[in-house]
Structure 1
Amino acid sequence: MDLLQLRYFQAVARYEHMSRAAEELRVAQPSLSRTIARLEADLGTTLFDRRGRRIRLNEYGAMFLRHVDRALSELDDGRRALLDARDTGLGRVGVASETLLTITHLLGSFRAAYPRADVRLHQSTAEEMDRQLRAGEVDFCVASQPLTGANLDSVELAREEVLLAVPRGHWLDGRESVTIPEIAHEPFVTTRPGHWQRALLDRMFASEGLTPLLSCEGDEPGASQDMISAGLGIGLIPAISRRVGTESHVPVAWVHMVAPDCHRVLTLVWNRDTYLSDAALKFREFTTSRPFMTHRLPDPRRGRAPRRPS
């Protein structure tokens, strides 16, 4: 049993698919299959259930994977510690966020304060973030949804209202607020499942026993405001985008949602059991020692929403 076998096993266990694992590892699939077979022979037990071309991690494989993840994580931490000790800089810090707009100014300020830090940025879904933290691919996630993996610590950075953006000239243009039932038949521009905007939209509609009508699903949340301004639908946009959109003259109108919990909570999340470089420690201190945003949440109960004209 060697490190290469363990790396290969970890990738196959993650995807439960030989072709995808081989593509990530950049090896031929037959070679990968032979390596996994040799590992199973060394261990004296099968790690996957095979049915035709489909493979599934069995109970022995799941048990072994937990130990492999810990062992490889320790080795990766040791390698990073050596590189940081040898480096004259502060080392590397990896950060993942669902939307890059959220942390653009934060990272810019951090780089200005610590120019010797090597900052690596990733755009990831909540599911990807959980995997990246476990695998040690990133040090921190700026998450808009709860991450519930084991050994994770977090601190709340900010809460901000989420507004409804509508095209100029829309019947809601000029309205102060609106309820979910009033917009039940309006087409929505939103993200695919896995992003926080989609989770919030589905949750708010479900609380009213409704399902949102979708006109566009995408993987780039930052493009939603432009699509809304083009008349492709309406959508939920965080308050920070209202400020940025106003500065860039994106033509949309903003409406408050009369709905409970129509806000976004941003948290900084990290794995307490992984090594953090000096750059990562500085980043955590920098991020948590100052206000992340200044947007306040208004009382959603204020005022009564006027009815939609018939």
Structure 2
Amino acid sequence: MDLLQLRYFRAVARYEHISRAAEELRVAQPSLSRTIARLEADLGTPLFDRQGRRIRLNQYGSIFLRHVERALSELDDGRRALADARDTGLGRVSVASETLLTISPLLGSFRAAYPRADVRLHQSNAEEMDRQLRAGEVDFCVASQPLTGANLDSIELAREEVLLAVPYGHWLDGRESVTIREIADEPFVSTRRGHWQRTLLDRLFEAEGLTPMLSCEGNEPAASQDMISSGLGIGLIPAISRKAGTETRVPVAWVHLDAPGCSRILTLVWNRDTYLSEAALRLREFITSRPLMTHRLPIPRHGNAPDPA
């Protein structure tokens, strides 16, 4: 058993698909299959159930994967610790966030305060962030929905209202608030399942025994306001977007949604069992000592700037 076999096994276990794992590892599929077969022979037990070309991690593979991930994480932490020790800077810190608008200004301020820190930013949904934390690919996640993986710690950063954005001239333009039942037949612009906006939309409608009608669903949350402004539907947009002044670039009208829990809770999440560089430790302190946003905001009329926070 060697380190290469373990890394190959982890990739195959992650995808449960030889060709996808081979593509990520940049190796030939036959070579990858032979490596997995040798590992199983060394261990004396199959790690995958095979049905034709399909493979599934079996109970023995699941047990082994937990230990492999822990071992590889320790080795990766050791490599990073050595790099930090010989580096004149603060080391690298990687952050994943569901929406970049929320965290980008704060990371910009951090880089200005600590120019020697190597800051990396990734955009990921909740499922991807959970995997990235377990694999040690990122140090922190700024999550808009709960991450429930083992060994995760978190700090609540902020709570903000989520508003309903509608095109100018829409029948809701000028309304202060609206209920879910009043907009049950409206076409919605939203993200695909896995993103927090879609999770919130489905939950609000499910509470009323309804299902939202989708006119558009995609993977780019930042594009939602543009599509709403173009008249393709209405949608849920976090209040920070209006505070940031995006309506001057992408004009929409804002309406409060009269529904319990129509808000976003932002948390900073990390894996307590992984190594954190000096840059990561300083970023955690930097983020948790600064407020990100306020709560409920008044709805401005056309042409008026939002009230200052």
Q: Structure 1, unaligned stretches of length 5 or more?
A: 300-310
Quote the Cα distance in structure 2 between the aligned partners of 1:106 and 1:235.
Answer: 26
Shift of the alpha carbon at 1:197?
0.1
User: Corresponding residue for 1:142?
Assistant: 142
User: Corresponding residue for 1:223?
Assistant: 223
Q: Partner letter of residue 51 of structure 2?
A: R
1:99 aligns with 2:99: yes
Q: Secondary structure at the match of 1:210?
A: coil
When the two structures are superposed, what TM-score results if normalisation uses the length of structure 1?
A: 0.95
1:128 aligns with 2:137: no
Quote the Cα distance in structure 1 between the aligned partners of 2:51 and 2:246.
Answer: 56
Quote the Cα distance in structure 2 between the aligned partners of 1:154 and 1:65.
Answer: 24
User: Corresponding residue for 2:36?
Assistant: 36
User: Corresponding residue for 1:176?
Assistant: 176
How does 1:11-26 map onto structure 2 within 5 Å? 11-26=11-26
Shift of the alpha carbon at 1:51?
0.8
Quote the Cα distance in structure 2 between the aligned partners of 1:217 and 1:158.
Answer: 26
Quote the Cα distance in structure 2 between the aligned partners of 1:182 and 1:223.
Answer: 25
User: Corresponding residue for 2:301?
Assistant: none
Quote the Cα distance in structure 2 between the aligned partners of 1:291 and 1:60.
Answer: 46
Give the total of aligned pairs.
298
User: Corresponding residue for 2:213?
Assistant: 213
1:233 aligns with 2:233: yes
User: Corresponding residue for 1:296?
Assistant: 295
Q: Partner letter of residue 224 of structure 1?
A: S
Q: Secondary structure at the match of 2:276?
A: coil
How does 1:1-310 map onto structure 2 within 5 Å? 1-246=1-246, 248-293=248-293, 295-297=294-296
Quote the Cα distance in structure 2 between the aligned partners of 1:61 and 1:196.
Answer: 31
Contact 2:239 2:297 survives alignment (8 Å): no
Q: Partner letter of residue 106 of structure 1?
A: L
Quote the Cα distance in structure 1 between the aligned partners of 2:88 and 2:243.
Answer: 39
Shift of the alpha carbon at 1:4?
0.3
Q: Structure 2, unaligned stretches of length 5 or more?
A: 299-309
Quote the Cα distance in structure 2 between the aligned partners of 1:197 and 1:247.
Answer: 19
Shift of the alpha carbon at 1:244?
2.2
Deviations 1:165-219 (A, max 9, x none): 0000000000000000000000000000000000000000000000000000011
Quote the Cα distance in structure 2 between the aligned partners of 1:24 and 1:246.
Answer: 37
Quote the Cα distance in structure 1 between the aligned partners of 2:4 and 2:246.
Answer: 52
